[in-house]
Amino acid sequence: MDTDTILRLVREVPDHDGFPLVDDLHARFDVLAAAHPDRVTVTRIGTSRLGEPLNAYRIGSGSHAAVVVGGVHPNEPIGSWTALHLAETMLGDDPAVRDLDVTWHIVPTIDPDGMRLNEAWFHDPHDRVFYSRHFYRPAPDSQVEWTFPNSYKSVYFDQVLPETLAFMRLIDDTEPDLLVSLHNGEMGGVYYYLSEDLPDVIDVLHAVPAALGLPLDTGEPEAPYLRELAPAVFAMDGTEQAYDWLEELGVDPGEHIHGASSAAWALRHGALCMVAELPYWSHPDADDQTPTDESYADLLRRCADELGRSGVELQEVLDQASPMLTIDTPFLEGSRAFIPMLAATPETDRARADREPADRMATVAERFGCEDLVRCFRLRYGGMLLRALEAETTAGTASAPLRRLRDRLAERYALWQADAVTEAAPIPVRKLVGVQYGAILACASHVSDATTASSTSGPALAGSTRPGGS
């Protein structure tokens, strides 16, 4: 499939208002399966922690297996529409799509329990304040994406979740040539993770957002140790590189690294792995490479101090509230995991700031990325802590001191919300889906074409910390 065809297909993605609720998403896939009983096979791969069946939908009969899984982080629902659009087009009449030599195994959402806790904002994903106030993200050891088995130096992790076990089983049963874990970010521009340095794929990954009028995110990367293959395209190196970087920095890696990712598991089968990270909101500073008058080291220290102060404030509220809390909600579990991480993260940023050249000026994109990370994390985890406290006030179990503590946090949170109002512009959902869909097609086409070429001309290409990141 050539680039022009991929760009045509991404421009044809229909628009949507918001994101589908879990029941609606499952119903849509079941309608597809019922309408095409000879072309769709539904297989139950597991059960969620709250008893939800986890199904994979097999479409096509190509010689290359592709696994596409949504909801790996339940606050990232762009992939819900992407998974559905992929299934619909693979069952459609466009020969360019149907001729891909791929068998698709699509999981609409692998964490339906967690996704339900975000549904309050799905109808209006463009309001960042509303989104953050109703945000939920599982604690790291309760995230499907980051609870695959891991053993490296001092880290040993085997607390595999039921949903992760289902994901592992699907990967092992299909031995995929391609794995796409459907993620998204929040603010800025488009960026990707890719398990191989593939210039033909990277060219398309750049062309797709450009065709849709979306910027690449060329500012501060999600983690400072990432290897950049091309602008806004990072190598999917795994936890080993993160561990070694933290160790060399003098920070205990065991405090930051636990489970491995789905990509690490799929690489055992030689899969090409790809993640497309999309923002809900774009900002003109996201790809502005103009130097500022602030050194990069000073920027790191300034944002580390601000994030640390926010983490201390939230920790104080959590510590005071804990003896009065009687309901052990997922919001409380997440707060107890993420808030201490907010307070600890500045140590890492200050340590790496000391190693930066004093005369290296930060770019506008880097300044925006660092400053918005502070806004993002205190909105996310302040909102989750508020939800934990409100579980008590709503249930009628909150004492008077707990209600006052909740009111105090709400006042502080309102100031953070006001600070988060920027020039950010909401992005039409069809463009976000288009980027993920185009990236999937680019990788699927590469997998098919590389193997076809190998049969005639030689060997094919083989598969070669921050809290709450993708």
How much is the average pLDDT of 58-75?
A: 97
- Asked if the structure places residue 342 within a domain, the reply is yes
Instruction: For residue range 443-454, list pLDDT tens digits in order.
Output: 999 998 865 444
Full-model pTM = 0.92
- Asked if the structure places residue 467 within a domain, the reply is no
- Exposed (0-12), middle (13-18) or buried (19+): which is 24, by Cβ within 10 Å? middle
CATH code, domain carrying 299? 1.20.120
* Average of per-residue pLDDT values in the chain: 92
CATH code, domain carrying 90? 3.40.630.10
* Co-location of 436 and 415 in the same domain: no
Instruction: For residue range 245-303, list pLDDT tens digits in order.
Output: 999 988 889 888 999 999 999 999 999 999 999 999 988 888 899 999 999 999 999 99
* Co-location of 98 and 221 in the same domain: yes
Domain count, the chain: 2
* Co-location of 90 and 139 in the same domain: yes
* Co-location of 429 and 415 in the same domain: no
**110/271 Cα distance (integer angstroms):** 19
Which tokens hold the place of 140?
A: 């790291």
- Asked if the structure places residue 126 within a domain, the reply is yes
- Asked if the structure places residue 223 within a domain, the reply is yes
Angle between helix axes 330-353 and 239-249 (nearest 10 degrees) is 50
- Asked if the structure places residue 147 within a domain, the reply is yes
Which residue from 157, 312, 344 is spatially nearest to 238, judged by alpha carbons?
A: 157
How much is the average pLDDT of 79-90?
A: 98
The backbone torsions φ and ψ at residue 45, rounded to the nearest 5 degrees and listed phi first, read -105, -10
Instruction: For residue range 318-354, list pLDDT tens digits in order.
Output: 999 999 999 999 999 999 999 998 888 888 889 889 9
> What's the longest Cα–Cα distance across the chain?
76
* Co-location of 279 and 304 in the same domain: no
Range of the domain at 142: 3-283+425-457
- Asked if the structure places residue 464 within a domain, the reply is no
Q: 53: which strand partners?
A: 47
* Co-location of 14 and 83 in the same domain: yes
Which residue from 104, 74, 275 is spatially nearest to 180, judged by alpha carbons?
A: 275
- Asked if the structure places residue 462 within a domain, the reply is no
Vertex 24, ends 20 and 28: CA angle to 5°?
105
* Co-location of 338 and 270 in the same domain: no
